Amino acid sequence: MTQRINAMAQSPELFKKFVEFSMLVKKSGTIEASILHLIDIRASQMNGCGFCLDMHVKEAKIDGERELRVHHVAIWRESSLFSPRERAALAWTEVLTRLPEHGVPDDIYEQVRAQLSEKEIADLSFAVMAINGWNRLNVGFRTTPGAADKAYGLDRAKLD
């Protein structure tokens, strides 16, 4: 598969601002980095974004995430490896990634509200919004998985 266009080269100012937004979300400090990795992986799986999935699996490994947990993200409901807080974040990620026709069901919101503060839910929602934006950009332009490993230091993950 060949990359269609390079969005960074074509729209450098917009790309830069979206990177800044994404970094601000990650630095908000209310949501643990481990959960941010999980939601980035899950949304990327759901959206079929090979570039982002590849990137976030490598980032998670570099940050010390256990390999089996990464494999279990796709089956998080059946897995015993995730805490109630992580499960709530994954449920919120899924519902915001594929919005139901009639909106977010109350039971999912209540599950999330039981585990996260209002500020955390807001920050988590921005994180989900960011990864979905990146997924759409990279799926649309067929960005090659692993293409930016060296630039982003992801070759340190040693996942060949």
pTM for this predicted structure: 0.94
Specify the pLDDT at position 1.
75
CATH of 12-157, one of 3.90.1150.10, 2.40.50.100, 1.20.1290.10, 2.160.10.10: 1.20.1290.10
Q: Residue with structure tokens 């939601």?
A: 39
Output the average pLDDT for the chain: 95
Angle, vertex CA 71, rays to CA 53 and CA 80, nearest 5: 130
Report domain extents, the chain.
12-157
Tens digit of each residue's pLDDT (9 = 90 or more) over 103-131? 999 999 999 999 999 999 999 999 999 99
Tens digit of each residue's pLDDT (9 = 90 or more) over 54-91? 999 999 999 999 999 999 999 999 999 999 999 999 99
CA distances to 48, 75, 89 from 97, rounded to whole Å, are: 12, 16, 12
